[in-house]
Amino acid sequence: MNKIIIIGNLTRNPELKYSKSGTAIATINIANNRKYKKKVETVFVDAVAFNKTAEFINNYFKKGSPILLEGRLAFDVWVDKNGNKRQKHKIIIEKTEFIGNKNIERTNKTKEETVAKENKNSFSPTGDAYENAVQNAGDGENESYDEDIPF
């Protein structure tokens, strides 16, 4: 299974382009902060979305916007103009959600219920650990995960 869920803030405005065939392609970069033991670790992640998801991101998100991305991890390899082999990971966005926006109407439904209702065939993470991670993402108060990592 190749599935990634990440929360972060856009580091720049989305860049929307269209392919020759008319496919919308949005590229974004997000910053994800992890606070632990009075330290902050920031990871910058490139991501790309296609079609209506690309247009949605372009229309509703801007630099600094918090965003939840769900997708898969891809690995790009290319040769730059100096002849050097380059490579990087990026997220191919399948779904995105608003987070932290006061203008969005909230309901009492759990995240699992909302995701399941939107797409019954989609992966829906469950359990208290997931809910705590979503609720505490970026606030650094949840240090218990450090002890669960086997490396």
User: Tell me: the pLDDT tens digits for 40-52?
Assistant: 999 999 999 999 9
2/116: higher pLDDT: 2
Decide if pLDDT at 31 tops 80. Answer: yes
Kindly report the pTM of this predicted structure. 0.63
Q: How many CB atoms lie within 10 A of CB 50?
A: 15
User: What is the C-alpha end-to-end distance of the chain, expressed in Å?
Assistant: 21
Q: What is the pLDDT of residues 60-89, one digit of tens each?
A: 999 999 999 999 999 999 999 999 999 999
pLDDT the model gives residue 93: 96
Decide if pLDDT at 134 tops 90. Answer: no
Q: Which two tokens stand for residue 115?
A: 């995701």
CATH annotation of 4-102: 2.40.50.140
CA angle 75, 78, 84 (to 5 degrees): 125
Question: Contact, 63 vs 13, CB < 8 A?
Answer: yes
pLDDT band at 101 (very low <50, low <70, confident <90, very high): low
